[in-house]
Structure 1
């Protein structure tokens, strides 16, 4: 390896503030043709990775820069870039993964390794029941992994893996997948600081594919060796944010006064609450909704911001102990952030008449409109109550530091300001929806986005930093960062409406026909000629005014006009613009841990949408995952 490449590798983490060119790499997924070449490049990746700073996870951009230097040095085709990035990532995490006992590792296998023709395996609720016929290597790999104590999953994609990891079931992942899947996993899994190694499939055709079997065998057999240096990870804080909403945690931090029925066991229905005391029913519905669903990203941000300003112990080698010692006041503030968010969801579902939330009927669909309005109000009151309690600190020392009147007043002020701005943004959206004039400028759409989405990021960050000390020096940075993050996030959410959403939106175009002011709509109106504008406006006219068209026909027509106006490309360019501004704020922060958190939020929150693939993925678990392993 050249001296220049070695020096570049040792300083890569220090250069994280270099602006990214945001080049697309989705087409650069060629696999080196021969085993000899693959072996040579894998060895080179091991050499390069050994020179990197392992104290913090590498970002995808950092890996790309190193991989491109390797390509330039060896005069390799650019198409190898994606493959090299996966190999670099695996080499980077090799020692950290070895430090995780096999029983805390997850082995991820793709179903496409089986032979499609004549495969005798059947699928049930536990996945693929391999008949061990010898026609493929799935049974051998799975048998070896299970013998060593791994948990084994036959699935593809990172969301389910993240849920398993954040749920506390495993601490590391080894896997086999195509480069398309692995590229997505780099952003979602590796940035969180989760040790992960992978062997790419030799093709991505999803049928009868092959893999370097000796590499997979070697990866599974990675011996357990405690690490001399731990790479920082946000996983512990992610788990802590989710744990805040367990029955035990809520009973300790936000104790119920009227009902002690366990939360989340079964769906709460009108019939089930009808048997309760009428006053207790409101409390139970509200707490049950609070405990259900969501990524808990806002509580995570509050916990992580506090940790960043107090030394970053919760992401270091003794993270478990540091998380256990997070002050009660910080935990309560994090819960309060979520109560305001959940209240806004209840009210937002009413205003938009959305049918589902978290895979269940929305609160107003289950209990009626008046009850849902009241439950949302109850959650707002609960949020303020969590901040106003005089006993919100664990100790007298904590009460002096974090629980005094000044700190609590600042938190209430921050959340009240966020609440008002959110209501202003939602109000602007509702007023526009209820008018007959559907014209909208991109600037007006961006103003609504800044009001609706940014306040949540700002309040979550500000509360965490304020509980650690004086937040005033960071107030402007937080505001600018949050505004750009919120706008970029909302644009991506709009784009997600057009490619489907696995959480709440069931059909593309829901925002258009629901009468919501989106940037995509505004961009189309600004780019189309007068005839195109009139055609677009006519598609959202009431049924009695416009010509009869099916919703599918209307949707196709809107998409055609959007594509003609190039709104999707323009929207992604705006995301890049706001992301660059958010990164610039992070570059200028003087606290390393806070800067690292800002970068992490940029890379994980602003995930570019992917068009869905037609392939059906089967999911199976060979070891039950109902309860986390106790550590």
Structure 2
């Protein structure tokens, strides 16, 4: 049987095949060390022959892993484990190219002894006391002696923050296959060098690992690779660096700031200079939080259409040369987005944003409205004053796109508010999706078009980008609806907020479409019942959503719109732009294999009896 070979690059036949499915049955770890070593060795042999100039997608890695299992006559159940081995083999040279002091070593909590562990937890994870009772201390001590930064934690958000902040350039880790699937995917998508050793089980208590493999991984010598792989990390860092307070202030060029107002506590601003307070509040909120995905998108599109040097090994130096006009244009997109968030929080009376009280909860509704208006003006000014550097035609294109996005977003928000305040709660899935297309897609589309305009390309991508943004935006909003039932540490402290806030979601529309008439009426009665507590309302709605197959149907819609977005990307040239669009689909629509809604409500609020959820 022939050996696995390099998957065909999307630079050739432009067709992407993505398969999203359940993977729990594919996560068996080979039970014999000799077999694990044989598979690992074969992965290294295969990857030695691969072109490493660009990252392989998960689908391409899976193709290699499946071919290997078939070659060795091994069951499909080993696929997840083999994927980790193949991925680690592919990235080994790139990890080796990073000196140990620029590598992050991730360890799981579950290697500790479940009983009697003296370690505490902080915001970064487990604070190991190096008592010697488990292997965590041994790994940590050796890694730190080599210069590694060590983190005993799981999950991609904190890791991505550390990477994008520029503290490390590569990640090596130990984790179960469940965690590796969820946490490492996004890191690898971005082209960040990464290796892992899987735990022998996903039991999360007193598990084991191939210890020598871990020691070999952290002792990987530092040497230059024969070929370096493209990465988006330079562009990610450039986007984030724009929001560091000093750089953000420089780019905005505040007109009223004084030393006193720049350093004052926000609560003291009205007493110091009430006129300068709005400007300072705007700078503070623009830089307060978020993933900065929109400015990254603008910078990455601009880069992909001007040679793609920002993803090269020397990309950091190239990106550092971007003009202030390019940076301000990308910043304008985020400024508009932040303005919409302030207004949206007021209209929905949300309590939290980025884990803090919303602006109107801190400073009042009137100040919140005014601050949002100010940031809209600031967004236009960031672009309009670059006529000399960008040229009037480019500025006109960007301003026109921003204005159109602003109007369409307002139409979508207006439709949502009118539905929320209406006595009728009838909503069809198609109407919900239309609202989503207006609320979520315009800002993303503006970010894409802004990068295109900055690149001054002759190609007209307007129609393609509108469709692409609509498909991605709709899928993202559906995922956001699903996450509302899982809780969201960034913006929400409990699940089911969309029901309490009376927002028109596709979940609600699917329930009305799928439920029988009596259950449909029950759903509407629950939503309109003023005597039901929030906790009781959420639990009963959840029960009906499960009965109507709402969560499954919503996930199917996500995959439908994901596929539509990828079909648009299939037809895009040049190749760096097409590859970026694939990356945006995968990173924005990041999801786990199952959405099993759980309710995050303090026990004291629960009321019984409640409708029992059906599965």
In the superposition, the TM-score normalised over structure 2's length comes to 0.93
Task: After TM superposition, give the deviation of residue 137 of structure 1 in Å.
Answer: 1.4
Choose the corresponding residue for 1:525, options 502, 512, 519: 512
Task: After TM superposition, give the deviation of residue 74 of structure 1 in Å.
Answer: 1.8
Question: Which residue is equivalent to 1:555?
Answer: 538
Q: Does 1:3 align with 2:2?
A: yes
1:148 and 1:16 map into 2 onto residues whose CA distance is: 44
Question: Which residue is equivalent to 1:350?
Answer: 346
- Report 1:318-337 matches (<5 A): 318-337=314-333
Choose the corresponding residue for 1:595, options 565, 578, 585: 578
2:557 and 2:261 map into 1 onto residues whose CA distance is: 42
Q: Does 1:535 align with 2:518?
A: no
Question: Which residue is equivalent to 1:439?
Answer: 426
Contact 1:492 1:575 (8 Å CA) reproduced: yes
Task: After TM superposition, give the deviation of residue 579 of structure 1 in Å.
Answer: 0.6
Q: Does 1:495 align with 2:482?
A: yes
Q: Secondary structure at the match of 2:485?
A: helix
Question: Which residue is equivalent to 2:461?
Answer: 474
Task: After TM superposition, give the deviation of residue 469 of structure 1 in Å.
Answer: 1.1
2:477 and 2:259 map into 1 onto residues whose CA distance is: 37
2:123 and 2:536 map into 1 onto residues whose CA distance is: 38
Question: Which residue is equivalent to 1:569?
Answer: 552
Q: Does 1:386 align with 2:382?
A: yes
Question: Which residue is equivalent to 2:502?
Answer: 515
1:367 and 1:331 map into 2 onto residues whose CA distance is: 30
Question: Which residue is equivalent to 1:135?
Answer: 133
- Report 1:292-441 matches (<5 A): 292-390=288-386, 399=389, 403-441=390-428
Q: Which moved more, 1:89-98 or 1:243-252?
A: 243-252
1:298 and 1:228 map into 2 onto residues whose CA distance is: 34
Q: Secondary structure at the match of 2:182?
A: helix
1:409 and 1:14 map into 2 onto residues whose CA distance is: 36
1:552 and 1:607 map into 2 onto residues whose CA distance is: 28
Change (3 A) 1:84 1:537: same
Cα-to-partner distance string for 1:451-479 (whole Å, 9 max, x where unaligned) = 01111111000010111113652111111
- Report 1:75-90 matches (<5 A): 75-90=73-88
1:509 and 1:219 map into 2 onto residues whose CA distance is: 43
Q: Which moved more, 1:183-192 or 1:97-106?
A: 183-192
Task: After TM superposition, give the deviation of residue 576 of structure 1 in Å.
Answer: 0.8
Count of aligned pairs between the two proteins: 597
Q: Does 1:580 align with 2:579?
A: no
Contact 2:572 2:578 (8 Å CA) reproduced: yes
Contact 1:13 1:53 (8 Å CA) reproduced: no
Contact 1:441 1:523 (8 Å CA) reproduced: yes
1:492 and 1:349 map into 2 onto residues whose CA distance is: 20
Task: After TM superposition, give the deviation of residue 603 of structure 1 in Å.
Answer: 0.5
Choose the corresponding residue for 1:36, options 34, 42, 52: 34
2:2 and 2:249 map into 1 onto residues whose CA distance is: 58
In the superposition, the TM-score normalised over structure 1's length comes to 0.91
Question: Which residue is equivalent to 2:228?
Answer: 230
Question: Which residue is equivalent to 1:486?
Answer: 473
Task: After TM superposition, give the deviation of residue 153 of structure 1 in Å.
Answer: 0.6
Q: Which moved more, 1:224-233 or 1:436-445?
A: 224-233
Q: Secondary structure at the match of 2:25?
A: coil
2:230 and 2:507 map into 1 onto residues whose CA distance is: 38
Task: After TM superposition, give the deviation of residue 131 of structure 1 in Å.
Answer: 5.0
- Report 1:179-190 matches (<5 A): 179-190=177-188
Contact 2:482 2:595 (8 Å CA) reproduced: no
1:471 and 1:379 map into 2 onto residues whose CA distance is: 32
Q: Which moved more, 1:255-264 or 1:437-446?
A: 255-264
Task: After TM superposition, give the deviation of residue 185 of structure 1 in Å.
Answer: 2.2
Q: Which moved more, 1:42-51 or 1:520-529?
A: 42-51
Task: After TM superposition, give the deviation of residue 154 of structure 1 in Å.
Answer: 0.9
Question: Which residue is equivalent to 1:66?
Answer: 64
Q: Secondary structure at the match of 2:137?
A: helix
Q: Secondary structure at the match of 2:4?
A: helix
Contact 2:124 2:158 (8 Å CA) reproduced: no
Task: After TM superposition, give the deviation of residue 251 of structure 1 in Å.
Answer: 3.0
1:260 and 1:162 map into 2 onto residues whose CA distance is: 35
Contact 1:247 1:263 (8 Å CA) reproduced: no
Question: Which residue is equivalent to 1:624?
Answer: none
2:489 and 2:551 map into 1 onto residues whose CA distance is: 20
Cα-to-partner distance string for 1:556-607 (whole Å, 9 max, x where unaligned) = 2111111111111111111111111100111111210100100000000001
Task: After TM superposition, give the deviation of residue 612 of structure 1 in Å.
Answer: 8.3
Task: After TM superposition, give the deviation of residue 354 of structure 1 in Å.
Answer: 0.4
Contact 1:55 1:231 (8 Å CA) reproduced: yes
Change (3 A) 1:106 1:612: farther
Change (3 A) 1:9 1:262: farther
1:602 and 1:122 map into 2 onto residues whose CA distance is: 38
Cα-to-partner distance string for 1:135-180 (whole Å, 9 max, x where unaligned) = 3211111111011101111111111100000011100001111111
Q: Secondary structure at the match of 1:503?
A: coil
Task: After TM superposition, give the deviation of residue 118 of structure 1 in Å.
Answer: 3.3
Contact 1:9 1:48 (8 Å CA) reproduced: no
Task: After TM superposition, give the deviation of residue 496 of structure 1 in Å.
Answer: 0.6
Change (3 A) 1:613 1:173: farther
Task: After TM superposition, give the deviation of residue 275 of structure 1 in Å.
Answer: 2.6
Contact 1:264 1:288 (8 Å CA) reproduced: no
Contact 1:465 1:471 (8 Å CA) reproduced: no
2:39 and 2:122 map into 1 onto residues whose CA distance is: 40
Question: Which residue is equivalent to 2:93?
Answer: 95
Cα-to-partner distance string for 1:69-113 (whole Å, 9 max, x where unaligned) = 222222212111111111111111000000001110001111211
Q: Secondary structure at the match of 2:461?
A: helix
Task: After TM superposition, give the deviation of residue 117 of structure 1 in Å.
Answer: 2.6
2:564 and 2:174 map into 1 onto residues whose CA distance is: 36
Q: Which moved more, 1:554-563 or 1:11-20?
A: 11-20
Cα RMSD, aligned residues only: 2.1
Q: Secondary structure at the match of 1:3?
A: coil
Q: Does 1:23 align with 2:21?
A: yes
Question: Which residue is equivalent to 2:493?
Answer: 506
Task: After TM superposition, give the deviation of residue 554 of structure 1 in Å.
Answer: 1.8
Name structure 1 gaps, 5 residues minimum: 394-398, 615-631
Contact 1:340 1:383 (8 Å CA) reproduced: yes
Change (3 A) 1:145 1:447: same
Change (3 A) 1:526 1:259: same
